[in-house]
Chain A
Amino acid sequence: MSAAPDPAAPDPATPESDAAPAGPLLPELAYNFAYLDEQTKRMIRRAILKAIAIPGYQVPFAAREMPMPYGWGTGGVQVTAAVLGPDDVLKVIDQGADDTTNAVAIRGFFEKTAGVATTTRTSEASVIQTRHRIPEQPLTERQILVYQVPIPEPLRFLEPRETETRQLHALAEYGLVHVKLYEDIARHGHIATTYAYPVEVAGRYVMDPSPIPKFDNPKMDDCPALQLFGAGREKRIYAIPPHTRVRSLDFDDHPFRVQRFAEPCAMCGARGVYLDEVILDDRGGRMFVCSDTDHCETRQAEGHHGGMWGGAPGAAA
């Protein structure tokens, strides 16, 4: 059948199909939209839909090799590639910053392979891929937050057998998570887990929120945005649909608490945000500034200033 579509031709749903009709592939068409072929993206979307239908449940998917090493967010990149459309505006953050090597590389990857607009502004983004943070600015229902996940299994540390952890999830036997928290209190006097703090999603599955600080855990609860989690090496996708109950596990006499910072951000004066310590000199000088650089810069542009704004201590006073 001569009329049959050439299987090698780009999918008609992608912008490339606006280019010259099927013929020899031109060098600039070497990438399908967002790098992955349409069949792979459909497979990933099916996994995402299943993940949304069963909040917090780890859905296996046939992860593809990506042109970047594991640990660089290949799981998140594949999820982003599957949800990205030509009109999306992408933001990529790594520990809250848009300008780390990792964030710049992933942003550049999608600029090149999908031609989408990118931004560093949380409010302008429709898709935000993140490693280790949730933006300070509350998300909206028009946004998708994609997390890069190194280890998706919250029970792994005490139960290495995959067959057993699957059973434990299936039967909602989550005593082990509390054993881990118990050990924390026994050894440190309080729950010392500050990253990847386990949560119960929609009253059912216990989930690893990826290594975000537990400071960010409350932001997952009842969040209007869709939250998707991609683990590349372990080939798992899971999700928190919009407005889902997310509860951080704890004990009655050791309730979950987020970190508190004694001082506001030294640059923008924000309180109630997650701060990073910055070493200023070799004499012990240091300051605490927003880990979310967009949040900090936006506030400074709006005229909010902290103690170190504009230079040396005291200069801004």
Chain B
Amino acid sequence: MTDQPLLVAEGLAKNYGARIGCRDVSLEVYPGEVLAVVGESGSGKSTLLGLLSTELAPSAGRVLYRLKDGALTDLASLGPAERRLLMRTDWGLVRQNPAEGLRMAVSAGGNVGERLMAVGWRHYGDIRAEALDWLGRVEIAADRIDDDPRSFSGGMRQRLQIARNLVTRPRLVFMDEPTGGLDVSVQARLLDLIRGLVAQMGLAVVIVTHDLAVARLLSHRMVVMRQGRVIETGLTDQVLDDPREPYTQLLVSSVLAA
């Protein structure tokens, strides 16, 4: 980690009509850092992730990102072409529902190769070799390369989604409940895999989860959300072992009691 943040959010807010999605969120993400966003259902985690990843437009505030040239840049100042290029090269976005993050009618190899083709790869053999390499890294057997994800289990789909996102070696990956809906044993394997890749590639990750065990396992720092606001933030171990806010204490104790 360096002392220069990769991503900076300033005073972010999002209203859905009269309803508040999130409000007054400021945070920083450093290179190689995993930041967990935790909180109960409806607390605004997904909304915040949508704002950070520019999938949602903020009602107030802004998001800045350190581009490859080193300049911290307001993402709203980028044109749509630049922003989309950034999203498919320097960023990844792993969705909770893999059917939304994958092309279900396209083979595993095509899913992984898409980003490469999108950035100009035009050699079939090279694309295939790279796809095979990535399937190996996410522990999908090479002989599944031409199968489409409809025939994959939930855990495999999620691993494929990760490979599809990491193939361009992004610096920052957003994940929304990547282990949600999976069996406990499948979850554990996926978490190990994510942890290994993150460390190996030095990825910065913003991961949304309602599961404090996931935050504990993966993240360096965490923010706790409630009713659209960040109510507590700090190093993961500190927050979990010594929560300051009564609400966080409740969250932690209910997990420990479970």
Contact A183 B110 (CB under 8 A): yes
Contact A253 B118 (CB under 8 A): no
Known: A158-B103, A171-B80, A183-B106. A251 touches B123 (CB 8 A): yes
Q: A225-256 toward B: CB 8 Å interface, digit per residue (1/0)?
A: 00000000000000000000000000111100
Of A36-44, A82-90, A174-182, A287-295, the stretch lying at the interface with chain B is: A174-182
Instruction: Check: A66 CB closer than 8 A to any chain B CB.
Output: no
Interface of B, secondary structure class, is helix
Contact A251 B124 (CB under 8 A): yes
Chain A residues, Cβ within 8 Å of B178: none
Contact A179 B106 (CB under 8 A): yes
Identify which of residues 94-135 in chain B touch chain A, using a CB-to-CB cut-off of 8 Å: 103, 105-107, 109-110, 113-115, 117-119, 122-125, 127-128
Instruction: Check: B71 CB closer than 8 A to any chain A CB.
Output: no
Query: In the assembled complex, how far is the CB of residue A161 from the closest CB belonging to chain B, in whole angstroms?
Result: 12
Contact B125 A178 (CB under 8 A): no
Q: Roughly how many angstroms separate A175 CA and B115 CA in the complex, as a whole number?
A: 7
Instruction: Check: B81 CB closer than 8 A to any chain A CB.
Output: yes
Instruction: Check: A65 CB closer than 8 A to any chain B CB.
Output: no
Chain B residues, Cβ within 8 Å of A173: 84, 118
Q: How large is the interface on A (under 10, 10 to 19, 20 to 34, 35 or more residues)?
A: 10 to 19
Known: A171-B80, A251-B122, A251-B124. A179 touches B117 (CB 8 A): yes
Q: How large is the interface on B (under 10, 10 to 19, 20 to 34, 35 or more residues)?
A: 20 to 34
Chain B residues, Cβ within 8 Å of A251: 122-124
Chain A residues, Cβ within 8 Å of B107: 183, 186-187
Most buried by B among A167, A170, A173: A173
Q: Roughly how many angstroms separate A147 CA and B103 CA in the complex, as a whole number?
A: 32
Q: Roughly how many angstroms separate A271 CA and B145 CA in the complex, as a whole number?
A: 40
Query: In the assembled complex, how far is the CB of residue A243 from the closest CB belonging to chain B, in whole angstroms?
Result: 26
Instruction: Check: A185 CB closer than 8 A to any chain B CB.
Output: yes
Contact partner of B110 among A170, A182, A252, A253, CB < 8 A? Answer: A182
Known: A158-B106, A182-B110, A185-B124. A175 touches B146 (CB 8 A): no
Q: Chain A residues in contact with chain B, CB under 8 A?
A: 158, 167, 170-171, 173, 175-176, 178-179, 182-183, 185-187, 251-254
Q: Chain B residues in contact with chain A, CB under 8 A?
A: 80-81, 84, 103, 105-107, 109-110, 113-115, 117-119, 122-125, 127-128, 145-146
Ordered by A's residue number, 8 sampled pairs between the chains whose C-beta atoms are within 8 Å are: A178-B117, A179-B103, A182-B109, A182-B127, A183-B110, A252-B123, A252-B124, A253-B125
